[in-house]
Amino acid sequence: MSSLDEPRPVPPAARPFRLFRRGPWENLATLVIACGVVMLMQPFSIALYGWSFITTLAGTVMFIVVSKFPE
Amino acid sequence: MTESSTVNHLVHHAAQSTPEPVARRVRGLSDRAIAWLFIAPTILLLLAINIFPLIWTIQLSFTNYRANRPNAAVSNVGLDHYASILSDPDVWHSMQVTAHFVLWTIVIQTALGFALAYLIDRKFRGHGFWTTVILLPMMLSPAVVGNFWKFLYQPQIGLFNYIVGFLSGTDPSSFQMIGDIRLAPCSIIIVDSWMWTPYVMLICLAGLRSIPDYIYEAAEVDRASAFRQFWSITLPMAMPFIMLAVLFRGIENFKMFDMVNLLTSGGPGSTTEVASITLKREAFEKWRTGYSSAFAIILFVTVFGLANIYVKALNRVKSR
């Protein structure tokens, strides 16, 4: 017979929800934005400069989307 | 007549003067509808001032529209402007000038700002007065600052040249801060640092004041040296605030325009031509409105991305 004081086992979170946690995704989006800004301003390669806008845009859109994920 | 009866009388008059159809209509609305009614003017104003120009700029960035030829036929050019900006060596150069400016201003302002905050936090005699004196430049308009630093940098009569000449033993009129290719970027960095270091100091001071005293007391009990306390307590605990200041100044300096325009207008040559000056030249000197709209959108997305990081850092500081 189980006691009432005994803590109930917490059911493991469903896999898709465990995958879509805000913290790591937000960090990844921040990293992508930072990469885009560095690519925009670096003096070494014009090819990197050319790809900078799309990288920053992707990071920003990603940030907006993942900020709606649960904690 | 007592005060409350006067108030009741006024309220009664106000209620009577409200037109009956309007009063009935408002009485019939839900709380949610009344809340919407109150915020609607603000939302409409925001849409008109912020959102509409943004959408219009996005639309213009895909066309060959020129503002000096409003009646000319406008055609769709797709992503051509974006492609040409992102492969233009001149625009790339202006981005590097901006990066140079952002990097040095952040380094100088953070180092000086944190040092000043650390000194002010010692609470020496008259620290309130000195805090006010240090904060004065931040309260001035950039237009005013740009103009009077232009006078200070004058080779013949400028106080800056005179002081540098006095300290180094050189002739004050032998160098030009604004007119020299090597010195012009430094002159802008000096002015921006003079103006905005107090702001960084304020944020760092908030960080230093948020560190509880008992942590230092515990460190004293453990016989930690002053350097050890600074390295292991002060710096890590003030770091989120320093990061906040760095991000904020980074965003602000990325779109810096007024001071550079007043001091050098991007010259001599293109040595101080930051991105916003290039944008102004494309938009209002060459009248390439579609091209400059695309450039503005590129800058906007960059600032918007950085602002997202800034808000995230702000939330982290708030949750501490």
B278 in any annotated domain: yes
Which residues of chain A have a Cβ shorter than 8 Å from any chain B Cβ? Answer: 26, 29-30, 33-34, 36-37, 40-43, 46, 49-50, 52-53, 56-57, 59-60, 63-64, 67
pLDDT at A9: 63
- Regarding whether B249 and B168 lie in a shared domain, the answer is yes
Give chain B's domain count. Answer: 2
B234 in any annotated domain: yes
What's the average model confidence in pLDDT over B204-210? Answer: 92
Q: Which residues of B touch A55 (CB under 8 A)?
A: none
- Regarding whether B197 and B135 lie in a shared domain, the answer is yes
Nearest CA in chain A to B90: A46
What span, in angstroms and rounded, lies between the C-alpha atoms of B211 and B205? 10
Q: Which residues of B touch A64 (CB under 8 A)?
A: 308
Domain end position, chosen among B12, B34, B50: B50
Distance from CA of A28 to the nearest CA of B (A): 11
B174/B16: higher pLDDT? B174
pLDDT tens column, B110-159: 999 999 999 998 878 888 888 899 999 999 998 899 988 999 998 888 89
B133 in any annotated domain: yes
- Regarding whether B271 and B171 lie in a shared domain, the answer is yes
pLDDT tens column, A23-53: 889 999 999 999 999 999 999 999 999 999 9
- Regarding whether B149 and B46 lie in a shared domain, the answer is no
The one-character DSSP state at B119 is: H
Q: Which residues of A touch B298 (CB under 8 A)?
A: 53
B74/B22: higher pLDDT? B74
What's the average model confidence in pLDDT over B198-219? Answer: 93
Q: Which residues of B touch A46 (CB under 8 A)?
A: 87, 89, 92
What span, in angstroms and rounded, lies between the C-alpha atoms of B112 and B251? 19
What's the average model confidence in pLDDT over B99-103? Answer: 94
- Regarding whether B277 and B197 lie in a shared domain, the answer is yes
What span, in angstroms and rounded, lies between the C-alpha atoms of B10 and B167? 72
- Regarding whether B40 and B89 lie in a shared domain, the answer is no
B12 in any annotated domain: no
- Regarding whether B165 and B41 lie in a shared domain, the answer is no
- Regarding whether B302 and B186 lie in a shared domain, the answer is yes
Q: Which residues of A touch B102 (CB under 8 A)?
A: 41
Answer yes or no: do A46 and B306 touch at CB < 8 A: no
What span, in angstroms and rounded, lies between the C-alpha atoms of A26 and B151? 47
- Regarding whether B185 and B46 lie in a shared domain, the answer is no
pLDDT at A1: 47
B46: containing domain? 21-50
Nearest CA in chain B to A33: B305
For residue B267, name the pLDDT band (cuts at 50, 70, 90): confident
- Regarding whether B132 and B33 lie in a shared domain, the answer is no
Of A34, A46, A59, the CB nearest to B89: A46
Give the number of residues written for chain B.
320
- Domain CATH for B270: 1.10.3720.10
For residue A14, name the pLDDT band (cuts at 50, 70, 90): low
B61 in any annotated domain: no
Tokens 């232009």 correspond to B150
Nearest 5°: the CA angle B138, B142, B144 is 100
Give the residue extent of every domain in chain A: 17-66
Tokens 């000038």 correspond to B97
